[in-house]
Structure 1
Amino acid sequence: MEKKKDITCVRSTLSERDLDILGSLRDHRLLTTALIRRLHFPSGGQHTPQGTSEEGSLPKRHATEAAASVATMRVLSRLESHGLVARLFRRIGGVRAGSNSLIWQLTSAGERLTRQGNDEGKRRRYLEPSAAFTFHTLATAELAVELHELAGNGAIELVDLESEPDCWRTFLAPHGAKQWLKPDLFAITAGGEFEDHWFLEADLGTEHTPVIVRKATTYQQYAATGTHQSEHEVFPVVAFVVPDERRKGTIEAALKTESTTRESFAAGMFRVVTKEGFSRFVAKGGA
Protein backbone atom coordinates (compact mmCIF):
# COMPACT_ATOMS: atom_id res chain seq x y z
CA MET A 1 0.00 0.00 0.00
CA GLU A 2 2.90 2.32 0.81
CA LYS A 3 4.37 1.93 -2.70
CA LYS A 4 1.07 2.89 -4.34
CA LYS A 5 0.91 5.96 -2.11
CA ASP A 6 4.47 6.92 -3.11
CA ILE A 7 3.63 6.62 -6.80
CA THR A 8 0.58 8.83 -6.32
CA CYS A 9 2.71 11.44 -4.57
CA VAL A 10 5.31 11.35 -7.33
CA ARG A 11 2.62 11.68 -9.99
CA SER A 12 1.37 14.89 -8.39
CA THR A 13 4.80 16.48 -8.95
CA LEU A 14 4.97 15.62 -12.66
CA SER A 15 4.15 17.99 -15.50
CA GLU A 16 1.97 17.13 -18.48
CA ARG A 17 5.12 16.78 -20.55
CA ASP A 18 6.60 14.37 -18.01
CA LEU A 19 3.49 12.23 -18.29
CA ASP A 20 3.60 12.44 -22.10
CA ILE A 21 7.20 11.17 -22.08
CA LEU A 22 6.26 8.26 -19.82
CA GLY A 23 3.33 7.53 -22.12
CA SER A 24 5.63 7.46 -25.15
CA LEU A 25 7.92 4.99 -23.39
CA ARG A 26 4.90 2.86 -22.49
CA ASP A 27 3.73 2.87 -26.11
CA HIS A 28 7.10 2.25 -27.79
CA ARG A 29 8.91 0.33 -25.01
CA LEU A 30 12.32 1.76 -25.89
CA LEU A 31 13.31 5.27 -27.04
CA THR A 32 16.64 7.02 -27.42
CA THR A 33 17.21 10.45 -25.95
CA ALA A 34 17.16 11.81 -29.51
CA LEU A 35 13.75 10.28 -30.27
CA ILE A 36 12.32 11.66 -27.03
CA ARG A 37 13.71 15.08 -27.94
CA ARG A 38 12.08 14.94 -31.36
CA LEU A 39 8.73 14.00 -29.84
CA HIS A 40 8.59 16.36 -26.88
CA PHE A 41 11.22 19.14 -27.08
CA PRO A 42 10.84 21.40 -30.13
CA SER A 43 13.72 23.53 -31.36
CA GLY A 44 14.07 26.25 -33.98
CA GLY A 45 11.27 26.00 -36.55
CA GLN A 46 10.36 22.43 -35.63
CA HIS A 47 6.72 21.68 -34.86
CA THR A 48 6.39 19.44 -31.83
CA PRO A 49 4.47 16.27 -32.60
CA GLN A 50 3.42 15.55 -29.03
CA GLY A 51 3.26 17.08 -25.61
CA THR A 52 2.51 20.34 -23.87
CA SER A 53 4.52 22.66 -21.72
CA GLU A 54 4.58 22.47 -17.96
CA GLU A 55 2.02 25.26 -17.94
CA GLY A 56 -0.30 23.20 -20.14
CA SER A 57 0.09 25.42 -23.22
CA LEU A 58 2.21 24.88 -26.30
CA PRO A 59 5.64 23.46 -25.44
CA LYS A 60 8.54 25.81 -24.92
CA ARG A 61 10.55 26.06 -28.13
CA HIS A 62 14.31 25.84 -27.71
CA ALA A 63 16.58 28.05 -29.80
CA THR A 64 18.76 25.18 -31.02
CA GLU A 65 18.74 21.42 -31.19
CA ALA A 66 21.65 21.38 -28.72
CA ALA A 67 19.59 23.36 -26.19
CA ALA A 68 16.68 20.99 -26.71
CA SER A 69 19.00 18.02 -26.11
CA VAL A 70 20.19 19.53 -22.82
CA ALA A 71 16.59 20.08 -21.70
CA THR A 72 15.64 16.55 -22.71
CA MET A 73 18.45 15.04 -20.70
CA ARG A 74 17.63 17.22 -17.70
CA VAL A 75 14.02 16.00 -17.65
CA LEU A 76 14.99 12.36 -18.21
CA SER A 77 17.54 12.54 -15.38
CA ARG A 78 14.83 13.89 -13.09
CA LEU A 79 12.43 11.08 -14.07
CA GLU A 80 15.29 8.64 -13.51
CA SER A 81 15.88 10.05 -10.02
CA HIS A 82 12.20 9.33 -9.26
CA GLY A 83 12.79 5.71 -10.34
CA LEU A 84 10.33 6.00 -13.24
CA VAL A 85 12.71 5.47 -16.17
CA ALA A 86 15.99 3.63 -16.61
CA ARG A 87 18.74 3.78 -19.20
CA LEU A 88 20.04 0.62 -20.85
CA PHE A 89 23.71 -0.31 -20.71
CA ARG A 90 23.67 -0.50 -24.51
CA ARG A 91 23.90 2.68 -26.58
CA ILE A 92 23.17 3.50 -30.21
CA GLY A 93 26.28 4.84 -31.90
CA GLY A 94 28.55 4.30 -28.89
CA VAL A 95 29.74 6.61 -26.15
CA ARG A 96 31.03 9.18 -28.63
CA ALA A 97 27.44 9.87 -29.71
CA GLY A 98 26.83 11.44 -26.30
CA SER A 99 23.53 11.56 -24.43
CA ASN A 100 21.53 11.24 -27.66
CA SER A 101 22.75 7.64 -27.90
CA LEU A 102 21.25 6.64 -24.56
CA ILE A 103 18.31 4.23 -24.68
CA TRP A 104 15.50 4.56 -22.15
CA GLN A 105 12.69 2.35 -20.90
CA LEU A 106 10.10 2.54 -18.15
CA THR A 107 10.82 0.93 -14.82
CA SER A 108 8.19 -1.16 -13.08
CA ALA A 109 7.36 1.94 -11.01
CA GLY A 110 7.02 3.99 -14.20
CA GLU A 111 4.67 1.40 -15.60
CA ARG A 112 2.55 1.41 -12.44
CA LEU A 113 2.29 5.18 -12.68
CA THR A 114 1.17 5.12 -16.33
CA ARG A 115 -1.32 2.37 -15.54
CA GLN A 116 -3.10 4.39 -12.85
CA GLY A 117 -6.71 4.78 -13.91
CA ASN A 118 -6.19 2.49 -16.93
CA ASP A 119 -7.14 -1.16 -17.31
CA GLU A 120 -4.24 -2.42 -19.38
CA GLY A 121 -4.00 -6.13 -18.63
CA LYS A 122 -0.96 -7.88 -17.24
CA ARG A 123 2.24 -6.09 -16.31
CA ARG A 124 5.38 -6.17 -18.41
CA ARG A 125 8.75 -7.32 -17.14
CA TYR A 126 11.42 -4.65 -17.39
CA LEU A 127 14.77 -6.28 -18.08
CA GLU A 128 17.78 -5.45 -20.25
CA PRO A 129 16.54 -6.54 -23.71
CA SER A 130 18.55 -8.38 -26.34
CA ALA A 131 20.42 -6.48 -29.05
CA ALA A 132 18.07 -7.77 -31.77
CA PHE A 133 14.98 -6.70 -29.82
CA THR A 134 16.51 -3.31 -29.04
CA PHE A 135 17.45 -2.45 -32.62
CA HIS A 136 14.12 -3.58 -34.06
CA THR A 137 12.09 -1.79 -31.39
CA LEU A 138 14.00 1.45 -31.99
CA ALA A 139 13.61 1.12 -35.77
CA THR A 140 9.86 0.79 -35.27
CA ALA A 141 9.82 3.74 -32.88
CA GLU A 142 11.70 5.82 -35.45
CA LEU A 143 8.89 5.24 -37.96
CA ALA A 144 6.30 6.28 -35.36
CA VAL A 145 8.26 9.45 -34.59
CA GLU A 146 8.45 10.29 -38.30
CA LEU A 147 4.67 9.95 -38.55
CA HIS A 148 4.23 12.31 -35.60
CA GLU A 149 6.65 14.77 -37.18
CA LEU A 150 4.77 14.66 -40.48
CA ALA A 151 1.57 15.42 -38.58
CA GLY A 152 3.27 18.18 -36.58
CA ASN A 153 4.49 19.79 -39.79
CA GLY A 154 1.04 19.61 -41.36
CA ALA A 155 2.05 17.17 -44.10
CA ILE A 156 -0.54 14.63 -42.92
CA GLU A 157 -3.22 14.20 -40.31
CA LEU A 158 -2.38 11.27 -38.05
CA VAL A 159 -5.83 9.82 -37.39
CA ASP A 160 -4.69 6.71 -35.54
CA LEU A 161 -1.42 5.05 -34.58
CA GLU A 162 -1.13 1.72 -32.81
CA SER A 163 2.12 0.17 -31.67
CA GLU A 164 2.75 -3.38 -30.51
CA PRO A 165 0.88 -5.21 -29.11
CA ASP A 166 -2.19 -3.00 -29.72
CA CYS A 167 -1.72 -3.28 -33.49
CA TRP A 168 -1.71 -7.09 -33.47
CA ARG A 169 -4.75 -8.84 -34.92
CA THR A 170 -6.20 -12.31 -34.39
CA PHE A 171 -8.22 -14.25 -36.96
CA LEU A 172 -9.20 -17.77 -37.89
CA ALA A 173 -6.86 -19.40 -40.39
CA PRO A 174 -8.28 -21.49 -43.25
CA HIS A 175 -7.99 -24.66 -41.14
CA GLY A 176 -9.99 -23.03 -38.32
CA ALA A 177 -7.19 -22.41 -35.84
CA LYS A 178 -6.64 -19.04 -34.20
CA GLN A 179 -3.78 -17.16 -35.85
CA TRP A 180 -1.93 -13.97 -35.05
CA LEU A 181 -0.95 -11.16 -37.39
CA LYS A 182 1.78 -9.07 -35.76
CA PRO A 183 2.56 -5.83 -37.61
CA ASP A 184 5.11 -3.47 -36.12
CA LEU A 185 2.72 -0.52 -36.44
CA PHE A 186 -0.78 0.23 -37.69
CA ALA A 187 -1.55 3.77 -38.80
CA ILE A 188 -4.32 5.75 -40.42
CA THR A 189 -3.19 8.98 -42.04
CA ALA A 190 -5.26 11.53 -43.92
CA GLY A 191 -4.68 14.21 -46.51
CA GLY A 192 -7.62 16.27 -47.65
CA GLU A 193 -10.71 14.07 -47.85
CA PHE A 194 -8.83 10.79 -48.18
CA GLU A 195 -7.60 8.35 -45.56
CA ASP A 196 -4.69 5.95 -46.01
CA HIS A 197 -4.44 2.81 -43.90
CA TRP A 198 -1.04 1.24 -43.23
CA PHE A 199 0.44 -1.88 -41.71
CA LEU A 200 4.12 -1.05 -41.26
CA GLU A 201 7.04 -3.47 -41.02
CA ALA A 202 10.43 -2.15 -39.90
CA ASP A 203 12.94 -4.32 -41.76
CA LEU A 204 16.59 -4.27 -40.68
CA GLY A 205 17.82 -6.45 -43.51
CA THR A 206 18.39 -9.42 -41.21
CA GLU A 207 15.40 -11.64 -42.06
CA HIS A 208 15.70 -14.20 -44.86
CA THR A 209 13.27 -13.57 -47.72
CA PRO A 210 11.23 -16.78 -47.06
CA VAL A 211 10.37 -15.28 -43.65
CA ILE A 212 9.19 -12.08 -45.36
CA VAL A 213 7.09 -14.09 -47.82
CA ARG A 214 5.50 -16.10 -45.00
CA LYS A 215 4.54 -12.92 -43.20
CA ALA A 216 3.11 -11.49 -46.41
CA THR A 217 1.04 -14.67 -46.75
CA THR A 218 -0.31 -14.12 -43.24
CA TYR A 219 -1.40 -10.64 -44.27
CA GLN A 220 -3.21 -12.16 -47.25
CA GLN A 221 -4.99 -14.63 -44.97
CA TYR A 222 -6.07 -11.82 -42.66
CA ALA A 223 -7.28 -9.75 -45.62
CA ALA A 224 -9.32 -12.72 -46.81
CA THR A 225 -11.38 -12.62 -43.59
CA GLY A 226 -12.70 -9.18 -44.53
CA THR A 227 -12.53 -8.04 -40.89
CA HIS A 228 -10.74 -4.75 -41.50
CA GLN A 229 -12.66 -4.04 -44.69
CA SER A 230 -16.02 -4.50 -42.96
CA GLU A 231 -15.15 -1.70 -40.54
CA HIS A 232 -13.10 0.61 -42.78
CA GLU A 233 -14.07 -0.40 -46.35
CA VAL A 234 -10.40 -0.73 -47.33
CA PHE A 235 -7.52 -3.02 -46.44
CA PRO A 236 -4.27 -1.33 -45.36
CA VAL A 237 -1.23 -1.13 -47.58
CA VAL A 238 1.46 -3.37 -46.09
CA ALA A 239 4.69 -1.36 -46.29
CA PHE A 240 8.07 -2.94 -45.62
CA VAL A 241 10.47 -0.14 -44.66
CA VAL A 242 13.99 -1.26 -45.50
CA PRO A 243 17.51 0.12 -44.97
CA ASP A 244 18.55 0.69 -48.61
CA GLU A 245 17.79 0.20 -52.30
CA ARG A 246 19.56 -3.16 -52.43
CA ARG A 247 17.33 -4.61 -49.73
CA LYS A 248 14.31 -3.03 -51.41
CA GLY A 249 15.11 -4.86 -54.64
CA THR A 250 15.62 -8.15 -52.81
CA ILE A 251 12.23 -8.07 -51.07
CA GLU A 252 10.39 -6.80 -54.13
CA ALA A 253 11.87 -9.63 -56.23
CA ALA A 254 10.80 -12.21 -53.63
CA LEU A 255 7.22 -10.90 -53.40
CA LYS A 256 6.98 -10.50 -57.16
CA THR A 257 8.16 -14.00 -58.05
CA GLU A 258 6.64 -16.07 -55.25
CA SER A 259 3.43 -17.65 -56.51
CA THR A 260 1.56 -17.05 -53.25
CA THR A 261 2.21 -13.30 -53.18
CA ARG A 262 2.64 -12.37 -56.86
CA GLU A 263 -0.93 -11.20 -57.50
CA SER A 264 -1.21 -9.22 -54.26
CA PHE A 265 2.11 -7.50 -54.94
CA ALA A 266 0.98 -6.56 -58.45
CA ALA A 267 -2.28 -5.20 -57.02
CA GLY A 268 -0.38 -2.90 -54.65
CA MET A 269 -1.16 -4.65 -51.37
CA PHE A 270 2.55 -4.90 -50.58
CA ARG A 271 4.93 -1.98 -50.96
CA VAL A 272 8.63 -1.74 -50.21
CA VAL A 273 10.17 1.64 -49.39
CA THR A 274 13.57 2.69 -48.10
CA LYS A 275 13.90 4.30 -44.71
CA GLU A 276 15.12 7.47 -46.44
CA GLY A 277 12.00 7.65 -48.59
CA PHE A 278 9.47 6.71 -45.91
CA SER A 279 8.25 10.20 -44.96
CA ARG A 280 7.69 11.26 -48.57
CA PHE A 281 6.01 7.92 -49.31
CA VAL A 282 3.47 8.39 -46.52
CA ALA A 283 2.94 12.09 -47.20
CA LYS A 284 2.03 11.21 -50.79
CA GLY A 285 -0.31 8.42 -49.74
CA GLY A 286 2.00 5.71 -51.07
CA ALA A 287 2.41 7.30 -54.47
Structure 2
Amino acid sequence: MSITNRYLNQLGPQLTERDLAIIRDVGRFKLMSGGQLERLYFADCSDTSRARNRQAVLRRLTGHRVLARVGQRRVGGAQRGSASYLYTLDVAGQHLAQSTSSRPRRPYSWYEPTVAHFLAVAELYVTLTEAARGGRFTVLDFQAEPYCWRSFGHRTLKPDAFVQLGVVHPDGRRRKGSFFIEVDRANQYGAKIETKLPQYLAYYQHHRQTWPDQSFPRVVFLAPHEQRVSYLRRLVAERPEAQRLFTVGLLDELVAVTLDR
Protein backbone atom coordinates (compact mmCIF):
# COMPACT_ATOMS: atom_id res chain seq x y z
CA MET A 1 0.00 0.00 0.00
CA SER A 2 1.39 3.37 -1.02
CA ILE A 3 1.33 6.05 1.67
CA THR A 4 0.28 9.25 -0.10
CA ASN A 5 -0.77 12.63 1.23
CA ARG A 6 -4.32 11.78 0.23
CA TYR A 7 -4.18 8.58 2.29
CA LEU A 8 -2.83 10.48 5.31
CA ASN A 9 -5.50 13.17 4.96
CA GLN A 10 -8.18 10.49 4.91
CA LEU A 11 -6.62 8.61 7.82
CA GLY A 12 -6.17 11.60 10.12
CA PRO A 13 -9.86 12.14 11.00
CA GLN A 14 -10.24 8.43 11.79
CA LEU A 15 -7.65 8.57 14.57
CA THR A 16 -8.77 9.04 18.16
CA GLU A 17 -6.95 10.98 20.85
CA ARG A 18 -5.74 7.65 22.21
CA ASP A 19 -4.42 6.68 18.76
CA LEU A 20 -2.47 9.94 18.56
CA ALA A 21 -1.08 9.45 22.06
CA ILE A 22 0.08 5.94 21.11
CA ILE A 23 1.80 7.37 18.02
CA ARG A 24 3.45 10.01 20.18
CA ASP A 25 4.80 7.53 22.73
CA VAL A 26 5.91 4.83 20.31
CA GLY A 27 7.69 7.56 18.37
CA ARG A 28 9.23 8.93 21.53
CA PHE A 29 10.63 5.59 22.70
CA LYS A 30 11.11 4.07 19.22
CA LEU A 31 10.09 0.63 20.48
CA MET A 32 7.37 -0.46 22.89
CA SER A 33 5.69 -3.73 23.72
CA GLY A 34 1.98 -4.33 23.37
CA GLY A 35 1.89 -4.98 27.10
CA GLN A 36 3.38 -1.56 27.85
CA LEU A 37 0.84 0.12 25.59
CA GLU A 38 -1.95 -1.80 27.31
CA ARG A 39 -0.85 -0.58 30.73
CA LEU A 40 -0.66 3.02 29.51
CA TYR A 41 -3.82 3.31 27.45
CA PHE A 42 -6.23 0.56 28.45
CA ALA A 43 -5.98 0.61 32.22
CA ASP A 44 -9.46 2.13 32.51
CA CYS A 45 -11.02 -0.87 30.77
CA SER A 46 -12.43 -3.75 32.76
CA ASP A 47 -10.23 -6.79 33.27
CA THR A 48 -12.29 -8.77 30.77
CA SER A 49 -12.24 -6.12 28.03
CA ARG A 50 -8.73 -4.71 28.43
CA ALA A 51 -6.97 -7.29 26.28
CA ARG A 52 -9.75 -7.34 23.70
CA ASN A 53 -9.72 -3.54 23.30
CA ARG A 54 -5.93 -3.44 23.10
CA GLN A 55 -5.91 -6.12 20.43
CA ALA A 56 -8.52 -4.30 18.36
CA VAL A 57 -6.74 -0.94 18.52
CA LEU A 58 -3.27 -2.27 17.78
CA ARG A 59 -4.59 -4.46 14.98
CA ARG A 60 -6.32 -1.43 13.43
CA LEU A 61 -3.24 0.80 13.73
CA THR A 62 -1.07 -1.94 12.25
CA GLY A 63 -3.50 -2.36 9.36
CA HIS A 64 -3.36 1.38 8.68
CA ARG A 65 0.46 1.22 8.54
CA VAL A 66 0.65 3.46 11.61
CA LEU A 67 2.38 0.81 13.72
CA ALA A 68 4.56 -2.11 12.65
CA ARG A 69 5.36 -5.31 14.52
CA VAL A 70 9.08 -5.91 14.69
CA GLY A 71 11.34 -8.76 15.70
CA GLN A 72 10.12 -12.18 16.72
CA ARG A 73 6.90 -12.78 18.57
CA ARG A 74 7.46 -13.88 22.15
CA VAL A 75 6.00 -17.31 22.82
CA GLY A 76 4.35 -18.34 26.08
CA GLY A 77 4.27 -16.47 29.35
CA ALA A 78 1.46 -14.37 30.75
CA GLN A 79 1.19 -12.10 27.73
CA ARG A 80 -0.30 -13.40 24.52
CA GLY A 81 -1.71 -11.92 21.35
CA SER A 82 -0.73 -8.36 20.51
CA ALA A 83 0.62 -7.79 24.03
CA SER A 84 3.54 -10.08 23.21
CA TYR A 85 4.60 -8.15 20.11
CA LEU A 86 7.03 -5.25 19.88
CA TYR A 87 5.85 -2.18 18.01
CA THR A 88 7.52 0.71 16.23
CA LEU A 89 6.14 3.40 13.93
CA ASP A 90 5.36 2.26 10.40
CA VAL A 91 5.42 4.56 7.38
CA ALA A 92 2.10 6.30 8.05
CA GLY A 93 2.95 6.63 11.74
CA GLN A 94 6.27 8.27 10.90
CA HIS A 95 4.53 10.83 8.69
CA LEU A 96 1.95 11.53 11.37
CA ALA A 97 4.63 11.88 14.04
CA GLN A 98 6.43 14.44 11.87
CA SER A 99 3.29 16.57 11.79
CA THR A 100 2.24 16.16 15.43
CA SER A 101 5.60 16.47 17.20
CA SER A 102 8.12 19.25 17.20
CA ARG A 103 10.80 16.65 17.96
CA PRO A 104 10.05 13.48 15.97
CA ARG A 105 12.36 10.49 16.24
CA ARG A 106 14.12 8.81 13.37
CA PRO A 107 12.55 5.49 12.31
CA TYR A 108 13.68 2.46 14.28
CA SER A 109 15.93 -0.06 12.56
CA TRP A 110 16.09 -3.46 14.20
CA TYR A 111 19.39 -3.96 16.00
CA GLU A 112 19.34 -6.64 18.67
CA PRO A 113 21.67 -4.98 21.24
CA THR A 114 19.40 -1.91 21.46
CA VAL A 115 16.10 -3.72 21.94
CA ALA A 116 16.35 -4.25 25.71
CA HIS A 117 17.62 -0.70 26.17
CA PHE A 118 14.69 0.97 24.37
CA LEU A 119 12.18 -1.24 26.18
CA ALA A 120 13.82 -0.51 29.54
CA VAL A 121 13.57 3.26 29.05
CA ALA A 122 9.94 2.93 27.95
CA GLU A 123 9.32 0.82 31.05
CA LEU A 124 10.54 3.69 33.26
CA TYR A 125 7.86 5.92 31.81
CA VAL A 126 5.13 3.28 32.05
CA THR A 127 6.03 2.50 35.67
CA LEU A 128 6.00 6.16 36.69
CA THR A 129 2.74 6.80 34.86
CA GLU A 130 1.07 3.84 36.58
CA ALA A 131 2.32 4.95 39.99
CA ALA A 132 1.24 8.55 39.40
CA ARG A 133 -2.39 7.42 39.06
CA GLY A 134 -2.39 7.04 42.84
CA GLY A 135 -2.16 10.82 43.19
CA ARG A 136 0.99 11.02 45.28
CA PHE A 137 2.94 12.66 42.49
CA THR A 138 2.66 13.77 38.88
CA VAL A 139 5.05 13.21 35.99
CA LEU A 140 5.80 16.78 34.92
CA ASP A 141 8.37 15.88 32.28
CA PHE A 142 9.91 12.76 30.81
CA GLN A 143 12.62 13.10 28.17
CA ALA A 144 14.04 10.05 26.40
CA GLU A 145 17.17 10.00 24.28
CA PRO A 146 18.38 12.07 22.53
CA TYR A 147 16.30 14.91 24.03
CA CYS A 148 17.54 14.24 27.55
CA TRP A 149 21.14 14.71 26.45
CA ARG A 150 23.00 17.79 27.66
CA SER A 151 25.81 19.47 25.72
CA PHE A 152 28.49 21.44 27.52
CA GLY A 153 31.67 22.74 25.95
CA HIS A 154 32.73 20.15 23.40
CA ARG A 155 31.17 17.29 25.34
CA THR A 156 27.74 15.68 25.56
CA LEU A 157 26.29 13.99 28.60
CA LYS A 158 24.02 11.14 27.49
CA PRO A 159 21.68 9.95 30.25
CA ASP A 160 19.06 7.35 29.44
CA ALA A 161 16.26 9.66 30.57
CA PHE A 162 15.48 12.92 32.34
CA VAL A 163 12.51 12.95 34.69
CA GLN A 164 10.81 15.73 36.62
CA LEU A 165 8.21 14.82 39.22
CA GLY A 166 5.81 16.98 41.18
CA VAL A 167 5.51 15.40 44.62
CA VAL A 168 2.60 15.96 47.01
CA HIS A 169 3.47 15.44 50.68
CA PRO A 170 0.88 14.16 53.20
CA ASP A 171 0.70 17.65 54.78
CA GLY A 172 -0.15 19.20 51.40
CA ARG A 173 3.27 20.63 50.64
CA ARG A 174 4.43 20.29 47.04
CA ARG A 175 7.91 20.09 45.60
CA LYS A 176 9.60 19.27 42.33
CA GLY A 177 12.27 16.66 41.91
CA SER A 178 14.47 16.32 38.84
CA PHE A 179 16.48 13.23 37.94
CA PHE A 180 18.87 11.93 35.34
CA ILE A 181 18.21 8.20 35.04
CA GLU A 182 20.73 5.54 34.04
CA VAL A 183 19.39 2.04 33.41
CA ASP A 184 22.14 -0.46 34.10
CA ARG A 185 21.32 -4.02 33.09
CA ALA A 186 24.66 -5.47 34.23
CA ASN A 187 25.29 -5.99 30.52
CA GLN A 188 24.99 -2.44 29.28
CA TYR A 189 24.97 -1.60 25.57
CA GLY A 190 27.16 1.37 24.66
CA ALA A 191 29.28 3.25 27.16
CA LYS A 192 29.89 1.32 30.37
CA ILE A 193 28.23 2.71 33.45
CA GLU A 194 31.61 3.31 35.09
CA THR A 195 32.49 5.91 32.47
CA LYS A 196 29.36 7.90 33.28
CA LEU A 197 30.55 8.92 36.75
CA PRO A 198 33.28 11.35 35.63
CA GLN A 199 30.97 12.64 32.86
CA TYR A 200 28.29 13.56 35.36
CA LEU A 201 30.83 15.16 37.69
CA ALA A 202 32.17 17.27 34.82
CA TYR A 203 28.66 18.36 33.85
CA TYR A 204 27.90 19.15 37.51
CA GLN A 205 30.88 21.51 37.66
CA HIS A 206 29.78 23.13 34.40
CA HIS A 207 26.25 23.47 35.75
CA ARG A 208 27.45 25.13 38.97
CA GLN A 209 29.50 27.67 37.04
CA THR A 210 26.84 28.40 34.41
CA TRP A 211 23.65 28.27 36.52
CA PRO A 212 24.80 28.73 40.14
CA ASP A 213 21.26 29.39 41.38
CA GLN A 214 19.72 26.29 39.84
CA SER A 215 19.65 22.96 41.62
CA PHE A 216 21.29 20.01 39.91
CA PRO A 217 19.19 16.92 39.12
CA ARG A 218 19.79 13.84 41.19
CA VAL A 219 21.53 11.09 39.22
CA VAL A 220 19.84 7.71 39.70
CA PHE A 221 21.52 4.46 38.68
CA LEU A 222 19.04 1.59 38.47
CA ALA A 223 20.32 -1.99 38.44
CA PRO A 224 18.57 -5.35 37.95
CA HIS A 225 19.73 -7.11 41.11
CA GLU A 226 21.35 -6.50 44.52
CA GLN A 227 24.78 -7.72 43.45
CA ARG A 228 24.93 -5.06 40.75
CA VAL A 229 23.55 -2.44 43.14
CA SER A 230 26.38 -3.19 45.57
CA TYR A 231 28.95 -2.92 42.80
CA LEU A 232 27.63 0.46 41.65
CA ARG A 233 27.51 1.76 45.21
CA ARG A 234 31.17 0.84 45.61
CA LEU A 235 31.98 2.82 42.48
CA VAL A 236 30.20 5.85 43.88
CA ALA A 237 31.85 5.44 47.29
CA GLU A 238 35.27 5.60 45.64
CA ARG A 239 34.52 9.21 44.66
CA PRO A 240 33.53 11.21 47.77
CA GLU A 241 32.51 14.18 45.62
CA ALA A 242 29.95 11.96 43.87
CA GLN A 243 28.10 10.64 46.90
CA ARG A 244 25.76 13.61 47.23
CA LEU A 245 24.86 13.52 43.52
CA PHE A 246 24.21 9.83 42.94
CA THR A 247 21.63 7.35 44.14
CA VAL A 248 21.74 3.63 43.36
CA GLY A 249 18.73 1.35 43.54
CA LEU A 250 16.93 -1.56 41.97
CA LEU A 251 14.97 -1.16 38.77
CA ASP A 252 11.93 -2.48 40.60
CA GLU A 253 12.30 0.33 43.16
CA LEU A 254 12.21 3.25 40.70
CA VAL A 255 9.30 5.02 42.38
CA ALA A 256 10.64 4.59 45.90
CA VAL A 257 14.13 5.71 44.90
CA THR A 258 12.91 8.94 43.29
CA LEU A 259 10.24 9.86 45.83
CA ASP A 260 12.58 9.36 48.77
CA ARG A 261 15.01 11.96 47.49
Instruction: Say whether the fold is shared (TM-score over 0.5).
Output: yes
1:285, CA displacement in angstroms? 3.3
Three-state SS of the structure 2 residue aligned to 1:170 is strand
Residues paired across the two proteins, number: 251
Q: Could you give the per-residue CA deviations for residues 211-246 of structure 1, whole angstroms, max 9, x where no partner exists?
A: 322111111111111279829721111101110111
Residue type of the partner of 1:240? F
8 Å CA contact 1:196–1:285 kept in 2: the answer is: no
Show the counterpart of 1:102. 85
Q: Structure 1: give runs of 5+ residues left out of the alignment.
A: 43-60, 173-177
- Give the structure 2 partner of residue 40 of structure 1: 41
Provide the rounded CA distance (Å) in 1 between the counterparts of 2:20 and 2:55.
Answer: 15
CA contact (8 A) 2:223 2:250 kept: yes
User: Separation in 2 of the partners of 1:20 and 1:227?
Assistant: 37
Counterparts of 1:203-218 in structure 2, within 5 Å, are: 203-207=184-188, 211-218=192-199
Residue deviations 1:162-216, cap 9 Å, x none?
11111111111xxxxx1111111101112132111100111111149x9322111
Q: Does 1:74 align with 2:56?
A: yes
TM-score, normalising length: structure 2: 0.88
Aligned-partner SS, 1:197: strand
2-structure distance, mates of 1:70, 1:228: 54
Look up the SS of the partner of 2:162 in the other structure. Answer: strand
Contact map agreement 1:213 1:255 (CA 8 A) in 2:
no
| Cα drift, residue 125 of structure 1 | 3.4
Q: 1:280 aligns with which of 235, 251, 256?
A: 256
Q: Is the 8 A contact 1:108 1:126 kept in 2?
A: no
188-197 or 110-119, larger mean C-alpha shift: 110-119
Distance 1:160 1:119, change over 3 A: closer
Mapped contact 1:158–1:187 kept (Cα < 8 A): yes
Are residues 2 and 30 of structure 1, via their aligned partners in 2, closer, same or farther at CA, if it must alter by over 3 Å? closer
RMSD over equivalenced CA pairs, Å: 2.3
Which stretches of structure 1, 4 residues or longer, exceed 3 Å deviation after superposition? 117-121
So what's the TM-score if we normalise by structure 1?
0.81
**1:105-116 correspondence to structure 2 within 5 Å:** 105-116=88-99
Partner of 1:15: 16
Identity of aligned residues (%): 27
Deviations 1:112-156 (A, max 9, x none): 1122154437x62343x2222010110111011111112222121
